[in-house]
């Protein structure tokens, strides 16, 4: 072994270096302990009350307590009904919203609704963005539009998107059968069945679902407060006109985001709009 002689100055510098490293290790251990306690108690790690305070080095008893808490957190089950995946939550939130939502709106709503803070917000937002991209470009279940004067997009549910049904559909009640015999109800249903064709004929151009909703208010003398029920009736009428009757077709218009509806005679064999309607 080679004996190394150090000057008093070198000894002092070496000692200071070791002390700095020890201080860093102690500070890091305090942060880890505070983080584990915050996770175990279900609190926000950014809360000033849960930030690490200057404490003594943890004893063996404290280390054992933290180890037990960590194991409990790792094995605690998370009920699926309380914490849905991004895909289900996005579709649910967009179907409930009366206006387009941004990625930030969906992210904050998830945290507030489930009282949950993501351990890694950046990773959670990245996953949310990928899910929005998948639902829009692959599944074709949502639409997006650039925000005017701002970064990012707003998202809405695509027309006639079939959401997962968790409850069994009940058999029709006798009252519905009686209502079919009511001349007024029958006439109302027939008007709604004709509405998509009537609205397109009146407009003379392809329309989006929101255009049909706006036209339905004066057409049926409906008050604006009944917007949600009117939107449902419009969707039902469009679904019948496109899938059952074939009198209306879905089309895409260049440089426009979203689904448009057009009369079947307005498109060619390839489902492209005639030039005068583009």
Of 48-57, 87-96, 113-122, give the lowest mean pLDDT range. Answer: 48-57
Domain count, the chain: 3
Q: Does 162 fall in a domain?
A: no
Cα end-to-end span (Å), the chain: 89
Do 23 and 42 belong to one domain? yes
- Beta strand 153-157 with 101-102 is antiparallel
Q: Using DSSP, state whether 143 is helix, strand or coil.
A: strand
What is the C-alpha separation between 176 and 102, in angstroms, rounded? 40
Both tokens of residue 267? 């498109």
Identify the sign of the CA torsion 243, 245, 251, 256: negative
Q: Does 163 fall in a domain?
A: no
| Strand arrangement, sheet containing 153-157 | 101-102, 153-157, 142-146
Do 252 and 196 belong to one domain? yes
Question: Over the stretch 219-247, which tens digit does the pLDDT of each residue have?
Answer: 899 998 899 999 999 999 999 999 988 89
CATH of the domain at 129: 1.10.10.10
Q: Does 166 fall in a domain?
A: no
Question: Over the stretch 121-165, which tens digit does the pLDDT of each residue have?
Answer: 998 898 999 999 888 888 888 989 998 888 889 999 887 455 554
Across the chain, what does the average pLDDT equal? 79
Q: Give the number of other CB atoms < 10 A from CB of residue 263.
A: 17
Q: Does 117 fall in a domain?
A: yes
Q: Does 256 fall in a domain?
A: yes
Question: Over the stretch 15-74, which tens digit does the pLDDT of each residue have?
Answer: 888 888 888 888 888 888 877 777 765 545 455 554 555 545 555 555 555 555 555 444
Pair 72, 40: CB distance under 8 Å = yes
CATH of the domain at 217: 1.10.10
Do 95 and 40 belong to one domain? no
Q: What is the pLDDT of residue 156?
A: 92
Q: Does 169 fall in a domain?
A: no
Q: Provide the domain limits for residue 186.
A: 174-277
């Amino acid at each position: 072994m080679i004996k190394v002689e150090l000057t008093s100055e070198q000894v002092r510098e070496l000692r200071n270096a070791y002390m700095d490293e020890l201080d860093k290790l102690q500070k890091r251990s305090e942060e880890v302990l505070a983080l584990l306690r915050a996770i175990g108690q279900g609190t926000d790690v950014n809360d000033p009350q849960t930030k690490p305070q200057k404490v003594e080095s943890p004893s063996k008893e404290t280390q054992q307590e933290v180890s037990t808490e960590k194991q409990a957190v790792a094995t605690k089950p998370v009920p699926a009904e309380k914490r849905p995946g991004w895909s289900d939550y996005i579709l649910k939130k967009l179907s409930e919203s009366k206006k387009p939502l941004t990625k930030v709106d969906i992210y904050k709503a998830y945290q507030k609704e489930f009282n949950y803070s993501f351990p890694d917000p950046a990773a959670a937002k990245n996953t949310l963005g990928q899910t929005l991209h998948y639902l829009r470009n692959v599944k074709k279940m949502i639409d997006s539009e650039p925000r005017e004067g701002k970064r990012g997009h707003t998202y809405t549910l695509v027309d006639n998107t079939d959401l997962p049904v968790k409850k069994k559909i009940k058999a029709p009640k006798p009252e519905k059968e009686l209502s079919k015999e009511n001349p007024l109800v029958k006439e109302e249903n027939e008007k709604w069945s004709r509405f998509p064709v009537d609205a397109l004929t009146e407009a003379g151009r392809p329309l989006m679902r929101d255009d049909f909703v706006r036209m339905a208010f004066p057409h049926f003398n409906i008050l604006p407060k009944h917007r949600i029920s009117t939107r449902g009736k419009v969707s039902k009428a469009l679904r019948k006109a496109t899938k059952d009757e074939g009198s209306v077709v879905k089309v895409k218009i260049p440089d426009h985001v979203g689904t448009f509806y057009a009369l079947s005679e307005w498109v060619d064999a390839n489902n492209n709009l005639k030039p005068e309607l583009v």
